[in-house]
Amino acid sequence: MPEYPEVYTVVEKLKELVIGKNIKKINVLYKNVFYDYNGEIKNLTIKDVRQFGKYILFFIDNYVLLSHLRMEGKYIISDKALSDKHILLNFEFSDGSYLNYHDVRKFGKFDLRRIENYLKTPPLMDLGKTPYKITYNELLEKFYKRTTKIKQILLEQDVISGIGNIYADEILFKSEISPFKQASKITKCQAVKIIENAKEIFDKAIKNGGTTIYTYSALGNSGHFQNYLDVHLRENMPCKKCGNLIKKVKINGRGTYYCDRCQK
């Protein structure tokens, strides 16, 4: 499931591969992946590719094309059109090559905005800052009055953006905070830890090309950070800090791994 480090990795690859390419047209092969598309992108050039939280932004002349990979979305470059049934959309370039969007679960989404207002409309207008930009005061302000468990709050992209289910577990483990703790009861010291550890974990994951669990890959390159996960997917295995067995529960429908001795 692509989170900040995986999206970062994909964007770096896309920059190398598609900036400067002319899009002859975009073919939507599965309607719901880009349901209100009206063929606006025609003979236009990709000027830039950027990351915004978990979103990939393609800057195409006066348009910004938003792409969210959700669970299993991935990009594949090819010399000719692919007929794989999991390819939901492709960019047909004027040089004859293609950028294909592949998504088995069909959860990913595309959305088109004008460059003048892409930051002033949903979903980007509602996104919180990433761990690299947010301050502990801003975070505490978001936690204030929230009675929900901290694990759930860290997944809310309007609170802090870029964290998904895997890294939320890793951040809370490293910060020694229970996933059940009420967000409003997080202390200043703990907010600082959450931010610092999120940055450290993201940096290390980016260095390792992201986390590959199940199917993630960045244009064919699998990540290696799964080998460095401290709690996620380690149910009944010894805690790397204290040896206590890692527990697995569900919080708001999300699989949550934690050490009930280290995390208070």
Partner DNA sequence: CCCGTGCCCTGGCGGC
Partner DNA sequence: TGCCGCCAGGGCACGG
Active-site annotation, residues: 2-3, 54, 254
Distance of CA 154 to the CA centre of its chain: 13
Work out whether 32 is an interface residue with DNA (CB under 7 A): yes
Whose Cβ is closer to DNA: residue 5's or residue 164's?
164
Binding positions for DNA, 55-84, rule CB under 7 A: 68, 70-71
245 CB-near residues (< 8 Å, 6+ apart): 236, 237, 238, 239
Reply yes or no: is the peptide bond before residue 123 cis, omega within 30 of 0.
yes
Q: Of 157 and 178, which has the nearer Cβ to DNA?
A: 157
Nearest residue (CB) to DNA, 24 versus 70? 70
Binding mask 228-257 for DNA (x = CB under 7 A): ----------------------x-xxxx--
As beta bridge partners, residue 114 has 63
Q: Which pair of structure tokens corresponds to residue 49?
A: 């590719």
Return the residues of window 166-225 that contact DNA according to CB under 7 A: 166
Provide the minimum distance between the beta carbon of 69 and DNA in the complex, in angstroms, as a whole number.
8
Residue 36 binds DNA (CB under 7 A) = no
Interface residue with DNA, options 107, 178, 219, 230 (CB under 7 A): 107
Question: In this chain, which stretch among 36-44, 91-99, 103-111, 192-200 interacts with DNA, using CB under 7 A?
Answer: 103-111
Among 146, 199, 240, 241, binds DNA (CB under 7 A): 146
Smallest distance from the beta carbon of 186 to DNA, in angstroms? 13
**Candidate residues 38, 83, 147, 236; the one interacting with DNA per rule CB under 7 A:** 147
Q: How many amino acids of this chain bind DNA (CB under 7 A)?
A: 30
Binding status of residue 113 toward DNA by CB under 7 A:
no
Distance CA 203, CA 197 (A): 10
Residue from the set 20, 42, 116, 145 that interacts with DNA by CB under 7 A: 145
CB neighbours (10 Å) of residue 244? 12
Q: Are 71 and 105 in contact (CB under 8 A)?
A: yes
Q: Which range binds DNA by CB under 7 A, 73-81, 101-109, 190-198, 217-225?
A: 101-109
Interface residues with DNA (CB under 7 A)? Answer: 1, 32, 53-54, 68, 70-71, 86, 104-107, 122-123, 126, 145-148, 152, 155, 157, 164-166, 250, 252-255
